[in-house]
Structure 1
């Protein structure tokens, strides 16, 4: 979406969200919690009417695992691969602006799926939904899906600051009040560890690729090469290096007022690995470690997260 159109959408959403009474900021739908600021029951009700295309570029990640960042990387890769001239680029951006399509599949009004039919291919589609709640057509059409994970402790801290920053939860709420809800799944999109468990069922699906925030952060060029190969993006080494630079955390944070308006302040905070060490208490560490060990440590995806490396002192 053209930046101006997206910023207007973000700012309007943030302003309207502040008017929602605290007790109504979250709503329950089909057993899951959702943020009323961006989600509507009528949209979730017709999610399965969304018509995927086989060439869609789908990014899935639990909130605050880096979906805004990696989503921008995918957009840049798709644009570079498409080799659009300036006129075509402007035409595509105008089309996206005119259609007012929110950047996440489950966000926005229920008419958005009709408007999305008018988006030119290849569409970059993002969602926070667990696989069981995603539109079936994504799997039926064999669209390629990039699933993003981040270590659970950094995810928790980032989620806490974000929900406070945009008033999804009371602004005066403390970390000690947020943590019990995070670790029991009483936050939008439920328990993060449940997402990991569910995605284990897709390990053998050749149309699904798994990557971690830490991988992309640690070696951006290598991560982007893997992503480009998976989606069959035709990009040069030079283009990849340019995109790594363009999508660095510092660059995106500096540009946030232009790209994301007021919401940018909450979307881009620190962007580092290991920030949880400044927040978790000893007892919270033990509780998170125990929960991870019980639920996912022995699964293939659980091992891929390198919990010992990123979540232990």
Structure 2
């Protein structure tokens, strides 16, 4: 049997969630994955600052040592649990089997697709959420360049697909709400992309405290500089230019595009914004989650548990 064709294939349903076709091929091994008690899990809905928070966690764990953080590319330092690409024999699970403890594991999985062993072992988890409108724009551009995703559609079609949860990993609304609920009974640090953008030092202190680290001001400043968007965009260890172009075509759109708050205003029409707001209001009613969608609104901080 030859290697299965996985480029630009339609999503495959896994337990009610639309999943990247290639990842679905490896699902049996995914479910059997064995977590370790000292695993650290970084979870996000896609395009919510995953690589950013991953590099911050790596810097915190290595006490701000930039040379240690250059030891390998981000996909090897912090493997993506569900990643599977048969043509180049890339498997997150295989990477993780040979990764010494304590492992840091990246995932975009919704709570009920995450392997049970990670919950049972009470692994520390960090979840970062980003406002839905900016995620929609970023995810659309990611679809253009990520050849493991289905054939891209128009922006107009994409907004509706996103609202319907017809994108890899399903509904953004379900994702953020269920992860938010998990912090009630699990060691989980819930962060907002916008807070990290506006006040990186305070948010990095939260990460350090959660991971049992105490960092001085000089180290915090070094981490902020090293993980700034400008530095990371030009850093080949973290900007995903190391992956084959058959997987990610940076000529269509860079993996790290803008990293801003409020870019959605450059894409949403008035009509699209009204449709989005109506669905958002309905989906998010009854939750205490609060997001800001532009820099001005981020000044009004919500009351956090942390």
Q: Normalised by the size of structure 1, how large is the TM-score?
A: 0.79
Where do residues 92-241 of structure 1 align in structure 2 (5 Å cutoff)?
93=71, 103-108=79-84, 113=93, 116-167=96-147, 168-171=149-152, 173-241=153-221
Root mean square deviation of aligned Cα: 3.1
Confirm whether residue 34 of structure 1 aligns to residue 22 of structure 2. Answer: no
How far apart are residue 44 of structure 1 and its match? 1.9
Confirm whether residue 288 of structure 1 aligns to residue 288 of structure 2. Answer: no
C-alpha spacing 1:21/1:247, structure 2 compared with 1 (3 Å) = closer
Task: Output the CA distance in 2 between the equivalents of 1:299 and 1:27.
Answer: 29
Task: Output the CA distance in 1 between the equivalents of 2:76 and 2:234.
Answer: 24
Task: Output the CA distance in 2 between the equivalents of 1:259 and 1:148.
Answer: 19
Q: Write out the 4+ residue segments of structure 1 that deviate beyond 6 Å after TM superposition.
A: 99-102
Q: Hey, what does 1:4 align to over in structure 2? A: none
How far apart are residue 150 of structure 1 and its match? 0.3
How far apart are residue 131 of structure 1 and its match? 0.8
Q: Hey, what does 1:53 align to over in structure 2? A: 36
Number of residue pairs matched by the alignment = 281
How far apart are residue 54 of structure 1 and its match? 2.1
Task: Output the CA distance in 2 between the equivalents of 1:237 and 1:35.
Answer: 41
Residues 65 and 149, structure 1, Cα contact 8 Å, conserved in 2:
yes
C-alpha spacing 1:229/1:222, structure 2 compared with 1 (3 Å) = same
How far apart are residue 100 of structure 1 and its match? 6.5
How far apart are residue 101 of structure 1 and its match? 8.3
Confirm whether residue 300 of structure 1 aligns to residue 285 of structure 2. Answer: no
Q: Hey, what does 2:303 align to over in structure 1? A: none
C-alpha spacing 1:108/1:154, structure 2 compared with 1 (3 Å) = same
2:271 match: secondary structure: helix
2:79 match: secondary structure: coil
The structure carrying a bigger helix percent of its residues is 1
1:189 match: secondary structure: coil
Residues 13 and 19, structure 2, Cα contact 8 Å, conserved in 1:
yes
Q: Name the stretch that deviates more: 234-243 or 153-162.
A: 234-243
How far apart are residue 93 of structure 1 and its match? 4.6
Q: Hey, what does 1:11 align to over in structure 2? A: none
Q: Normalised by the size of structure 2, how large is the TM-score?
A: 0.81
2:18 match: secondary structure: strand
Where do residues 262-277 of structure 1 align in structure 2 (5 Å cutoff)?
263=248, 266-277=254-265
C-alpha spacing 1:297/1:242, structure 2 compared with 1 (3 Å) = farther
Confirm whether residue 76 of structure 1 aligns to residue 46 of structure 2. Answer: no
Gaps of 5+ in 2: 299-306
Task: Output the CA distance in 2 between the equivalents of 1:267 and 1:142.
Answer: 32
Task: State the Cα deviation string for residues 34-86 of structure 1 (Å, max 9, x = none).
Answer: 2235x242x222323222222222111001111111111111111227x89x8
Task: Output the CA distance in 1 between the equivalents of 2:238 and 2:82.
Answer: 24
